[in-house]
Structure 1
Amino acid sequence: MQKTCIITGASRGIGRAIAISLSFREDIANFILISRTESGLEETALLMNTSKNIEAFGLDLTRYKEVAGVIQEMGNKYGTIDMLINVAGYANPKSLLETSIEDWEKTYRINVHSIFNITKEAVKFMKKTGGQILNVASTAGSSARPGWLSYASSKAAIINMSQTLSEELSDYGILVYCISPGRCATELRKILAPDEDPSTIMQPEHVGEVVNQLLSADGVCLDGQNIVVRKQVRKAVRQRNLAY
């Protein structure tokens, strides 16, 4: 079966890495890439397996009706949607007293509401044949992150949404996965930790390979869980072991 896969946030970082990794699989023929940055999507497409059918949409995910229209158009065109990978996210880390209601709402529109919207539209097609949904949350969503209130709480919402949908959609043969990357060298991470050396932390390609495995037969027992993906700080571990 030649599958159709939708990836949001595919213009850079983890979304791009996932698109590249999945494009070399034999079972996926059609890719729909969505991001606000159209030029970034073009760069991603050039790095993918060019034998695949790739369609790119420069689209703001908070334009809910337009997004719904694209999903309906693609679902009708290819007859099915087999995979939906929600990567796109937004962060503007501030403390409670520094966070405006406008920025709080923007964070939730991008990180939560847009995922609800696109997932609902994709499931209208998936429920006929089954499928896989993967949501990218964050380790920030499962621990206290002072100064990151809006971002961390929005990612906590995605973790719970994924777990709930895993049970709700199981009757349709739809598997729902959630991964929570730790520190990863993305543009978003630069906003959260501007002084960090990106070469010392996990790279987007590492996450892309994890997603590839999850969406294969090997990941059939891992849906419904919040899967933490992080690079261990081995230097610190070695130093601690030497102290004993």
Structure 2
Amino acid sequence: MSDHKTAIVTGAARGIGLATTHLFLAEGLSVAMVDRDAEELQRAADGLERVLPLPYDVSIPEQVDAIMAETIQHFGRIDCLVNNAGVADFGPIEDTSFARWRTVMETNLDGVFLCSQAAIPHLKKTRGAIVNIASISGLRASTLRVAYGTSKAAVIHLTQQQAAELGEYGIRANCVAPGPVRTKLAMAVHTPEIIDAYHDAIPLNRYGAEDEIAHVIAFLCSDKASYVTGQLISADGGFESTGIGLPAVRAKGDFA
């Protein structure tokens, strides 16, 4: 078995997954980078040491098996699985066909289940960790997120199921629920009005950064979190904690 701890990060070609990959590498881990966008994945992996780019789809069982087999063949061990791959497809309930629903569920929920199941035998050997990436949308309902929000709520509960059953093998399972994060995609689709509204609603008055989410993920994968399992951390600037409050009231303290 290699001396380098190894992490599998899905959705690693960009955003939070790529930021997490860079942080793991800085901390001395090897990383199997998984993403179904083969071209973007290769660009992200170019120039990086101790990485294995794997252009696979986490919603396809046979490809998930290949992820595990090739990671073991290349690195010899799996210490941490970060289930970050996700599909964001927003739209009204009435316009959400079953096909759209399944497209979201296949990656956001099925992918987490499949990758975790396939990694368990290897994580038993290392007494490793699973970190599932949900979303604040799994904790607080919002318009246009019937499939996305439901998939992320299911991931939160799946994490607790994993923690309850896998703890006896020394495997820890935790969940991170990011709030609004300043990714290229978010900035491309969020209008100035949406950005201002988020700033008003978030106690820290700003979007999060990809690196800030990555640091939470890395902590949960590390020995520093050796007694932490079955937990949800909302890395959201306080958004979820004040979900029922009015920003104007919080700012003024005026209930009149």
Q: What TM-score, normalized by structure 1, do the two folds share?
A: 0.87
Residues 1:185 and 2:159 are matched in the alignment? no
User: What residue number does 1:231 align with?
Assistant: 237
Residues 1:124 and 2:121 are matched in the alignment? yes
User: What residue number does 1:62 align with?
Assistant: 59
TM-fit CA distance, 1:44: 2.7
Q: Distance in 1 between matches of 2:188 and 2:141?
A: 18
Contact 1:91–1:192 under 8 Å retained in 2: no
Residues 1:146 and 2:143 are matched in the alignment? yes
Q: Distance in 1 between matches of 2:43 and 2:238?
A: 30
TM-fit CA distance, 1:160: 0.3
Structure 2 vs 1, CA of residues 189 and 73 (structure 1 numbering), >3 Å: closer, same or farther? same
User: What residue number does 1:53 align with?
Assistant: 50
Q: What TM-score, normalized by structure 2, do the two folds share?
A: 0.83
Residues 1:6 and 2:17 are matched in the alignment? no
RMSD of equivalent CA atoms: 2.6
Contact 1:92–1:192 under 8 Å retained in 2: no
Q: Distance in 1 between matches of 2:112 and 2:99?
A: 19
3-state SS of the aligned residue for 1:183? coil
Q: Distance in 2 between matches of 1:68 and 1:113?
A: 14
Q: Distance in 2 between matches of 1:239 and 1:160?
A: 31
TM-fit CA distance, 1:232: 4.8
Contact 1:31–1:55 under 8 Å retained in 2: yes
3-state SS of the aligned residue for 1:184? coil
Structure 2 vs 1, CA of residues 194 and 241 (structure 1 numbering), >3 Å: closer, same or farther? closer
Structure 2 vs 1, CA of residues 182 and 89 (structure 1 numbering), >3 Å: closer, same or farther? same
Contact 2:82–2:130 under 8 Å retained in 1: yes
The one-letter code matched in structure 2 to 1:33 is M
TM-fit CA distance, 1:110: 0.7
TM-fit CA distance, 1:205: 1.3
The one-letter code matched in structure 2 to 1:64 is P
Greater shift in the superposed pair: 212-221 or 223-232: 212-221
Contact 1:71–1:121 under 8 Å retained in 2: yes
User: What residue number does 1:217 align with?
Assistant: 223
Residue of 224, 237, 240 corresponding to 2:251 = 240
Q: Distance in 1 between matches of 2:16 and 2:56?
A: 18
3-state SS of the aligned residue for 1:111? helix
Q: Deviations over 1:169-194 (max 9, x none)?
A: 11111111100001112355458745
Contact 2:13–2:40 under 8 Å retained in 1: yes
3-state SS of the aligned residue for 1:23? helix
Q: Distance in 1 between matches of 2:57 and 2:191?
A: 25
Greater shift in the superposed pair: 117-126 or 197-206: 197-206
Q: Distance in 1 between matches of 2:156 and 2:188?
A: 22
Contact 2:68–2:119 under 8 Å retained in 1: yes
| Long gaps (5+) in structure 2 | 200-205, 240-246
User: What residue number does 2:24 align with?
Assistant: 22
Aligned pairs (5 A) from 1:152-171: 152-171=149-168
Number of matched residues?
237
Residues 1:36 and 2:47 are matched in the alignment? no
Structure 2 vs 1, CA of residues 77 and 22 (structure 1 numbering), >3 Å: closer, same or farther? closer
TM-fit CA distance, 1:131: 0.5
Contact 1:35–1:59 under 8 Å retained in 2: yes
Contact 1:20–1:44 under 8 Å retained in 2: no
3-state SS of the aligned residue for 2:66? helix
